[in-house]
Amino acid sequence: MFLFIDSVRIIPIIFVLLIHLLNVDYMSTYYNFNGQITASSEVKLSVSDLSILRGYGIFDYFLVRQKTVMFLDDYLNRFYGSAKILGLSIPVTKDEMARQIYALIKANNTTDAGIRLLLTGGYSEDGYTPSTPNYLILQHPISWVPQKDYETGIKLITHLFQRELPEVKSINYLTGIKLQQEMKNAGAGEILYHDGQFYRETVRANVFFVVNDEIFTPAEKILKGITRKHMLNIASKHFKVNEIEVPLNYLDKASEIFITSSTKGVLPVVNVDGMMIGQGKPGPKASFLLTEWEKHCEAYIKDHSNEFTH
């Protein structure tokens, strides 16, 4: 079919195209690079940085919802703790970092986003010894979990692996990323690490088991998730909650399994390595805790909505 567009009709089309082009430019993101708000496309590290040469760096990640940074104190405490363990010093105080995070959100005119703090080993003369760290505050769109995953639950595969320096939120994701294709081939949404005796965590979330109406979650050699921390508080108001070394036979005993993270909230697991968990559908505790989690987040936003005026 021949599409005829006369010169009068083409004007609004050009106008829409122009708006679209202007919008793309308008929407270009800013990052904070060593304290300076900088166009994201300009933020580059020289190849002598120890993150590139030696994978030496830490990060943290949290959400902005309705212009409120969620659980900011918890995330700053963890980020500064990770830096201390790796012997890296962050050149600004936590208060100043908080101020810079809110300044970036304002510069990007954001209501909802993911914020990534990143601290590297810095530009190293000998390619091995850390120097003055580079620190960055990056902003990304949030990758929410599809709604259907909450309705049907996800699958996990397991893998024998203990994360190095597990209490540090380091940038090292070698094993998780290497296994990504294997995970997708199995139709799984996450990989659950164990050390041959005990479960630890998934690549990007913490894990909870429901056994005999009690809740169990690994206590040791894991990254202490901030969502996990809040979930322990919430869940213990309603159930008996145990932070223990969770043995492998809890997989057979579990009536429910779920994982927690900032973007996932409470995500039910219905299958591990091909074995059905419970009835093979999301269980009542996971559903209840997801609702409680959402209430908790809403209450936090209400209580902290003035932080943006820092």
Q: Does 56 bind a copy of itself (CB under 8 A)?
A: yes
Q: Is 118 an interacting residue with respect to a copy of itself (CB under 8 A)?
A: yes
Nearest to 168 by CA among 102, 121, 101: 121
Which one of 52, 103, 107, 186 is in contact with a copy of itself (CB under 8 A)?
52
**Residue placing its CB nearer to a copy of itself in the complex, 15 or 128:** 128
User: Rounded CA gap, 120 and 304, in Å?
Assistant: 30
Binding flag, residue 130, a copy of itself (CB under 8 A): yes
262 binds a copy of itself (CB under 8 A): no
71-109: burial string, b at 16+ Cβ within 10 Å, e else: bbebbbebbbebbeebebebeeeeeebbebbbebbeebe
Give the C-alpha separation, 150 to 146, whole Å: 8
Does residue number 275 form part of the binding site for a copy of itself (CB under 8 A)? no
Q: How far apart are CA 57 and CA 59, in angstroms?
A: 7
Shortest Å, Cβ 174 to a copy of itself = 6
Does residue 87 belong to the site contacting a copy of itself (CB under 8 A)? Answer: yes
Residue 59 as a binder of a copy of itself (CB under 8 A): the answer is yes
DSSP symbol at 204: T
Q: Is 51 a binder of a copy of itself (CB under 8 A)?
A: yes
Q: Which stretch binds a copy of itself (CB under 8 A): 130-138, 222-230, 248-256, 258-266?
A: 130-138
Q: Rounded CA gap, 80 and 57, in Å?
A: 12
Q: Does 53 bind a copy of itself (CB under 8 A)?
A: yes
Each residue 166-195 as x (binds a copy of itself by CB under 8 A) or -, in order, gives: --x-xxxxxx-xx-xx--------------
Is 37 a binding residue for a copy of itself by CB under 8 A? The answer is no
Residue 247 DSSP code: B
- With CB under 8 A as the contact rule, the residue among 165, 234, 241, 301 that binds a copy of itself is 165
Q: In 3D, which of 268, 264, 288, 290 has the Cα closest to residue 278?
A: 268
103 touching a copy of itself, by CB under 8 A? no
Residue 138's closest CA among 185, 164, 100?
100
| Residue 208 exposed, middle or buried by CB count within 10 Å (0-12, 13-18, 19+) | buried
Asked if 44 and 34 count as a contact pair (C-beta separation under 8 A), the reply is no
Measured from the CB atom, the residue of 51 and 262 that comes closer to a copy of itself is 51
User: Is 107 a residue that touches a copy of itself (CB under 8 A)?
Assistant: no
- The residue with tokens 């070394």 is 245
Amino acid at 196: G
The residue ranges that bind a copy of itself (CB under 8 A) are 31, 40-41, 43-47, 49-57, 59, 85-87, 116, 118, 120-121, 126-130, 136, 138, 140, 143, 161, 164-165, 168, 170-175, 177-178, 180-181
